[in-house]
Structure 1
Amino acid sequence: MTGTATLERIESGLPSSRVKIDDLAGRLGLRATEIGVFRKIYGLDELRYEPGGGLLDLVLPPARRALEALPEGRRVDYVVFAHTMQMLTPPGLDAAPLIRDALGLHGAEAFAVNQQACVSSMGAIDITAELMRADRGRRAPGGYGLMVTGERAYSPRIQLIPHSAIMAEAAAACLFTLDGPGDPVLSYVDRVHGEFADGLLMTDDRIKRFGAVYAPELADVIREAVAEAGLEPAEVDLVIPHNVNTISWRHVIKELEIPPEQVFLDNVPRLSHCYSSDVFVNYTTLRDAGRLKAGRPYVLASVGLGATFGAMVIRRSGTEAA
């Protein structure tokens, strides 16, 4: 179907509480030597974490800021909540319509995407854009979608990915439409490897297998997305990654045969891995620092346990709304 998805406004939000990873050792059952490995090898240092904080308190502020870019007289047709963990609210409460109603978007359809884990935020935009293309002829033109991310590290069980990451809290929101003035999505590629569907419950042998395919597969997905966008890897200004850790990205960089500075890793020690929010938090960090250049292509890339590998190529428009 025709119609290019364009990212009109991306916003993010972080809890104010900064926590050193050392301070989480007791909660996560980690020895001092294991904390040392996370710091020296995986590149982690501190993260944002607010025990007892509410889900809506986290996700609504960036969503409201993103909605400020909604042109007067236009409407939001879809609110999609992208998250990593399956259960984020008590039984009987559906987070997506709660978010929609709290934002006053009562006429929008609300649903969640989470089966792609940390890739769900990009996947949610791709899915919703396809729905918006199918809507042409059924709805009045000019509708928007709002993708919202953010989840609390409410349990040690979901805050620690052994030998990989310590999860942090953040939220992000992306207002998008079809054929708008914002950043156009040039391509989106994802691949699912069901053999790793057990996620945190994988056996040691399966974890080793996942580790062996991780960098080559993510590099290949990035290359495919870049090729589908009609580009060469050298033409990409930056890879905007998830913040799983630095050593995994060093392996991916080696597979891609690109300069290390072509992948933005500054937020790994500052923020750690924030579930589905990373790539959009990193986008706003770069944008606010003036590091995103109008007309230049960027790759958003992430991996979700389960296991999904995803990459989205966008071109920075430089419009005020974006």
Structure 2
Amino acid sequence: MAIGIGQLAYELPQTRCTVDELRRAGLVRSDADVLREFGFESVYIDHDQQHGLRLAACRRVLEAGDVDPDDVEALLVYQGMQSSEVREPEDVLEFFRYPAARLRAELGLATASALGMSQQGCSGLLTSIELAARLLPSSPRRAVLCVAGDSLPPQSTREIMFNAMSDAAAALLVEKDAACNRIVHVMQRVHPYYWDSPMRQDELMASYFPIAQRTILECMDEAGLALSDIRWLVPHNVSRRSWEILARLLAFPEDRIWTKNIPRVGHTISCDHVVNLVDMAAEGALRPGDKLLLFTFGFGASWSCLVLEH
């Protein structure tokens, strides 16, 4: 049974700010020129619209895939940051107003399990895809709907470790007998020592590249592939400078790393791969049979890879 990602969609908020505007508003620590040197030009900022963004992305993939709601086995909703939606409610029942349950109700997924997921940092959507691929072989249903989205709190910094951050939501369908994006291999390497991101920040920055290099090479070995078999490395949209360094460590051509969305969108926590894949397809960059390597790092800490065959 071929399991793949049949449909993808993303949503961005309407408000877009340049790095100069962010600097003037005190929403980034670095000078705008420094952020531009790292490849960033603008970010998208949500104004309490995260649920609407997720809902719109889900509706688009269900409609594009012509999927009957009763043919969805599960709805997996990922949020990378700890929720800021409920603070000191008057009624403790407010803590039980689950975003995953709300999405399931509004999408009409009456027979699907709804699961909320978190605490995987930027790796969360790849973990959701892996879980979906494990669920489907034992299910009589056709698909699992995965959705992710995060919005930073108002007036919080838009810069994390020299990366400019956007709010976004993304959805995808993991399907049986998908026409494209067959899942070839998934791999995650965890290093629990780095669980305390603020305390271990400097050590994380020092270890990021050697562990990333090792993880990617181990993934290729496990998948029975060489890096030369990979048509595109689809990145998470951290700084372009970091991808230049990793490309040299891997001896991988920089022009086969899709970095076009780093200036326009920046880093969206867990939605970057969907944003990039959708735009790559729209631009005609993907051909049948292309092997794609998706890589990301997530606080917590995990280094993750997903290999697809388009």
Q: Normalized against structure 2, the TM-score is what?
A: 0.90
Query: What is the distance in 1 between the residues matched to 2:130 and 2:189?
Result: 14
Query: What is the distance in 1 between the residues matched to 2:217 and 2:102?
Result: 38
After TM superposition, the structure 1 = structure 2 runs for residues 217-296 of structure 1, keeping only pairs within 5 Å, are 217-296=211-290
Among 95, 99, 102, the alignment partner of 1:98 is 102
Secondary structure of 2:36's match? helix
Q: What is the Cα deviation at residue 26 of structure 1?
A: 4.9
Q: Which letter maps to 1:166? A: A
Runs of 5+ consecutive residues of structure 2 not aligned to the other structure: 87-94
Query: What is the distance in 2 between the residues matched to 1:30 and 1:174?
Result: 31
CA distance 1:22–1:5, change in 2 (3 Å): same
CA distance 1:129–1:30, change in 2 (3 Å): closer
Secondary structure of 2:145's match? strand
Contact 2:80 2:269 in 1 (8 A): yes
After superposition, give the CA deviation of every residue in 1:128-187 in whole Å (9 maximum; x if it has no partner): 221333xx2xx5x233100011221224446331x3212101221111123433321000
**Is residue 122 of structure 1 aligned with residue 121 of structure 2?**
no
CA distance 1:73–1:277, change in 2 (3 Å): closer
Among 210, 219, 231, the alignment partner of 1:216 is 210
Query: What is the distance in 1 between the residues matched to 2:75 and 2:107?
Result: 10
After TM superposition, the structure 1 = structure 2 runs for residues 19-168 of structure 1, keeping only pairs within 5 Å, are 19-28=17-26, 30=28, 34-40=31-37, 42-50=38-46, 52-68=47-63, 69-71=65-67, 75-90=71-86, 91-133=95-137, 136=138, 139=139, 141-157=140-156, 159-161=158-160, 163-168=161-166
Partner residue in 1 for 2:91: none
Partner residue in 2 for 1:191: 189
Contact 1:89 1:95 in 2 (8 A): no
Identity of aligned residues (%): 27
CA distance 1:315–1:25, change in 2 (3 Å): same
Contact 1:121 1:147 in 2 (8 A): yes
Q: Which letter maps to 2:152? A: A
Secondary structure of 2:271's match? helix
Secondary structure of 1:312's match? strand
Contact 2:10 2:171 in 1 (8 A): yes
Secondary structure of 2:31's match? helix
Contact 1:58 1:151 in 2 (8 A): no
RMSD over equivalenced CA pairs, Å: 1.9
Q: Normalized against structure 1, the TM-score is what?
A: 0.87
CA distance 1:88–1:78, change in 2 (3 Å): farther
In the alignment of these two chains, the number of paired residues is: 301
After superposition, give the CA deviation of every residue in 1:211-238 in whole Å (9 maximum; x if it has no partner): 1211121122222222322221011000
Greater CA drift, 174-183 or 95-104: 174-183
Query: What is the distance in 2 between the residues matched to 1:120 and 1:67?
Result: 21
After superposition, give the CA deviation of every residue in 1:97-152 in whole Å (9 maximum; x if it has no partner): 1111111112110112222111100101101221333xx2xx5x233100011221
